[in-house]
Amino acid sequence: MKAAVDSSSRPADEIARDKYRHPLETLTFFGIKPDMTVVEIWPGGGWYTEILAPYLHDNGKLYAATNKSENADEYKKKLAADPARFGKVIVTHLDPPESMDIAPPGSADLVITFRNVHNWMRDGNAEAVFKAMYAALKPGGTLGVVEHRGDPSKPQDPKAASGYVQQDYVIKLAEEAGFMLTGKSEINANPTDAKDYAKGVWTLPPTLRLGDTDKEKYLAIGESDRMTLKFLKPKQTTER
């Protein structure tokens, strides 16, 4: 895993974000192993795929559950441009509520998603996506979630318009789908994130939605405060 994170094949601008995203520590916390079947949910531009695909290439399997957005097309082009690294990635589709088959049922050892829960809440699909992730996992499999962490003293916007989600709310979504919480980590915490910006979490880097306005201030804060949660799909038993 360290070799995959430290690889010179990763773009320099992506490596620069490691100090905020802590990929080695995060994936280790989720319990990833090189022979696992892993599902990456909505991989975006492929930041984590750059690490996961080489790591799982020889002995594991990687499903990438994309959506219909424009960056999904760019993502597929990225994979096609470097078959030596990405040729074994299996692209599936998660476009709730229509397309929910992110991997064969009960096939995955690990499902991971990074900063996506607020998007599902915005579209009213969070419950359905958590159920789809549950269905894809083997009994005893793990779900790893990283999400922008909201202020627990304020009411949770069910649409998460600011991009922030309360940690307890994410835990509730997972538990309602059948998961059990097995671990919390502060790997991706940022106590300097005030979480009260006019343009929501996108005020901070890397988006910097306000442009040059107070840019240095937001660069100094860094990327958002994030929860890092690990859940278990309970092992089913026929015992009575």
Interval 12-41: pLDDT, tens:
999 999 999 999 999 999 999 999 999 999
For residue 70, the model assigns a pLDDT of 65
Q: Which of 110, 111, 113, 61 is nearest to 87 (CA)?
A: 61
CA 31 to each of CA 152, 174, 183: distance values in angstroms, whole numbers, following the listed order: 28, 18, 11
One-letter amino acid of 142: T
> DSSP states of 80-130 as a string?
HH-HHHHTT-EEEE-BTTTB--SSSTT-EEEEEEES-HHHHHHTT-HHHHH
- 213 belongs to a structural domain: no
Assess contact for 230 and 143: CB atoms under 8 A.
yes
Averaged pLDDT for residues 49-73: 93
Averaged pLDDT for residues 179-207: 97
- 215 belongs to a structural domain: no
Average pLDDT in the chain: 95
For residue 97, the model assigns a pLDDT of 85
- 52 belongs to a structural domain: yes
- 33 belongs to a structural domain: yes
Sign of CA dihedral 190, 195, 201, 207: negative
Q: Residue 117 maps to which CATH number?
A: 3.40.50.150
From CA 61, how far away is CA 55, in angstroms rounded?
A: 10
What's the number of domains the chain is made of?
Answer: 1
Asked if residue 72 has pLDDT above 90, the reply is no
- 19 belongs to a structural domain: yes
**Could you tell me where the beta strands, DSSP code E, fall in the chain?**
37-41, 61-66, 90-93, 108-114, 137-148, 180-185, 226-232
From CA 219, how far away is CA 18, in angstroms rounded?
A: 15
For residue 239, the model assigns a pLDDT of 41
From CA 11, how far away is CA 171, in angstroms rounded?
A: 33
Averaged pLDDT for residues 180-199: 97
Residue with tokens 């996992």: 137
- 75 belongs to a structural domain: yes
Averaged pLDDT for residues 60-75: 90
Domain that holds residue 162: 2-192+225-232
Q: Which of 152, 182, 179, 154 is nearest to 167 (CA)?
A: 152
- 218 belongs to a structural domain: no
- 203 belongs to a structural domain: no
